[in-house]
Amino acid sequence: MLSRFYRSFFTILLLISFDSHAIITLTDNDLKFEVGKKLEIYIDDDGQESFDEIRTKKFDSPNRLNFGITNSIYWVRFTVENLSQHQDWHLRVNYPPTDYIDFYSPNERTGTYTVIKTGDKRPFASRPTKNNFSCFLSIQAMTQPLITLVLKPKA
């Protein structure tokens, strides 16, 4: 079970360069996948927009991202192509003191989204994965879901 946990990990590194519209390809041959270069970002300066509202917004693919000290909400999205035989994955955000992190994972069959809420300001016991850094995602084999995260860093 533990080896399966480590086998199924991919990492977000938010402070490196980006490559717009790229797809993160998950395979059986790799243990980690860095997605930082393949993110798209939308900055909600007043923090009032909902998931439904931002779905129609234009996201940017900046050369570099650094949240700094801000009250803005960062919407981050990326596409994953699961070519592996595994559907259980863990998404890791490499900045544990982020106050709020909401993961929106699509259900390919129903067209709905599962929302997983975590972050430094939420109770540790309520997290689906008992880890400061990660969140469980179920990604069906041979699919390409668009994963969306909402990040509210410490202000």
CATH of the domain at 58: 2.60.40.2380
Alpha helix (H) residue ranges in 1-155? 2-7, 51-54
3-state SS class at 54:
helix
Least confident of 43-57, 72-86, 88-102: 88-102
Per-residue pLDDT of 4-52, as tens digits, reads 433 344 444 443 333 445 788 888 887 677 777 788 889 899 889 999 9
Single-letter code of the amino acid located at 119: G
Which pLDDT value is given to residue 67? Answer: 61
With tokens 């997290």, the residue in question is 127
Specify the number of domains making up the chain: 1
Average pLDDT, whole number, for the chain?
75
Q: State the Cα–Cα distance between residues 89 and 30, nearest whole angstrom.
A: 13
Beta carbons of 9 and 31 less than 8 angstroms apart: yes
Share of the chain above pLDDT 70, in %: 75
Tokens linked to 20: 């717009």
pLDDT exceeds 50 at position 1 = no
Which pLDDT value is given to residue 15? Answer: 35
Q: What is the DSSP letter of 2?
A: H
Give the domain range for residue 117: 2-152
With tokens 């919407």, the residue in question is 75
Least confident of 3-7, 86-90, 103-107, 136-140: 3-7
- Residues 103-112: what's their mean pLDDT? 83
- Residues 55-64: what's their mean pLDDT? 81
- Residues 142-155: what's their mean pLDDT? 76
Least confident of 81-90, 113-122, 127-136: 127-136
Q: State the Cα–Cα distance between residues 34 and 23, nearest whole angstrom.
A: 11
Q: State the Cα–Cα distance between residues 18 and 11, nearest whole angstrom.
A: 14
